[in-house]
């Protein structure tokens, strides 16, 4: 089997293919190219009023790219209904290398300094590929998602790939499309330039998201 290197991984993302493991204790990796793909339109993100209040109240301390490995390992932990994980040691090593190269990013939510939620993904051009998220407290992963979308909008991203559709993502406005349609969007996005925004300063992420939706 061809060894998966960080360079090969980036090439695969450019054409819509990504790897997963079978179990966290199994070192083998498998390539996936789903027939249907879930995409979250940045100009069509549905921000529930209750979640917007939670974000604005500052319930969690939110940061980006401060604990990428910690977020990945938290995403791999067993959770109710999901005792197994596809995030194995080769995945941790490969995506850790992408992070060092500036091609992977994380958003962290903390309470009293403790990591309680977050997400991570890969960026290529103006496309961001969401990989996984976790939540140890109510709404922590949702707050991280709002911050991710705000950072993407500010940075000029064009595509947020969610890989597989879930009811959770559908509630935020995610759409499911055939592989061929996704590849058209992907080809345009990966050849554009975008910059992941680690800091938003004093800007309100909810206002950034809502302004993008209103002007679309």
C-alpha neighbours within 13 Å on the C-beta side of residue 97: 12
Q: Is residue 30 part of a domain?
A: yes
Q: What is the CATH number for 104?
A: 3.40.630.70
Distance CA 118, CA 129 (A): 15
Please say if the pLDDT value at position 106 is more than 60.
yes
Q: Is residue 121 part of a domain?
A: yes
Q: Is residue 143 part of a domain?
A: yes
Please say if the pLDDT value at position 105 is more than 70.
yes
Q: Is residue 1 part of a domain?
A: no
**Stated pTM of the model:** 0.95
pLDDT in tens, 138-173: 999 999 999 999 999 999 999 999 999 999 899 999
Q: Is residue 148 part of a domain?
A: yes
What's the total number of domains in the chain?
1
Please say if the pLDDT value at position 26 is more than 80.
yes
Q: Is residue 91 part of a domain?
A: yes
Q: Would you say 143 and 109 are in contact if contact means Cβ atoms under 8 Å apart?
A: yes
pLDDT above 90 coverage of the chain, percent: 89
The DSSP code for 41 is: -
Range of the domain at 18: 6-215
Strands (E), 76-152: 104-111, 114-124, 127-135
Res 216: pLDDT? 47
Please say if the pLDDT value at position 81 is more than 80.
no
Q: Is residue 194 part of a domain?
A: yes
Please say if the pLDDT value at position 1 is more than 60.
no
pLDDT in tens, 27-64: 899 999 999 999 999 999 999 999 999 999 999 999 99
Question: How many helices and strands, by DSSP H and E, does the chain display?
Answer: 8, 9
Question: Around Cβ 203, how many Cβ atoms within 10 Å?
Answer: 12
Please say if the pLDDT value at position 97 is more than 90.
yes
């Amino acid at each position: 089997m061809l060894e998966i290197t960080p360079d090969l991984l980036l090439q695969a993302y450019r054409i819509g293919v990504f790897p997963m493991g079978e179990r966290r204790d199994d070192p083998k990796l498998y390539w996936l190219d789903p027939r249907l793909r879930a995409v979250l339109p940045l100009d069509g993100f549905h921000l529930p009023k209750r979640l917007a209040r939670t974000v604005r109240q500052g319930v969690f301390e939110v940061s980006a790219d401060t604990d990428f490995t910690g977020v990945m390992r938290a995403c791999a932990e067993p959770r109710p209904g999901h005792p197994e994980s596809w995030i194995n040691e080769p995945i941790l090593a490969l995506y850790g290398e992408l992070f060092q190269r500036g091609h992977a990013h994380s958003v962290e939510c903390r309470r009293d300094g403790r990591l309680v939620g977050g997400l991570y993904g890969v960026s290529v051009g103006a496309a961001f590929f969401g990989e996984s998220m976790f939540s140890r407290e109510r709404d922590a992963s949702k707050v991280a998602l709002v911050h991710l979308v705000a950072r993407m909008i500010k940075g000029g991203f064009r595509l947020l790939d969610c890989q597989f559709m879930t009811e959770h993502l559908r509630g935020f406005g995610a759409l499911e499309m055939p592989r061929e349609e996704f590849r058209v969007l992907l080809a345009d996005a990966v050849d554009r330039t975008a910059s992941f925004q680690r800091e938003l300063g004093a800007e309100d992420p909810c206002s950034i998201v809502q302004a993008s939706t209103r002007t679309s």
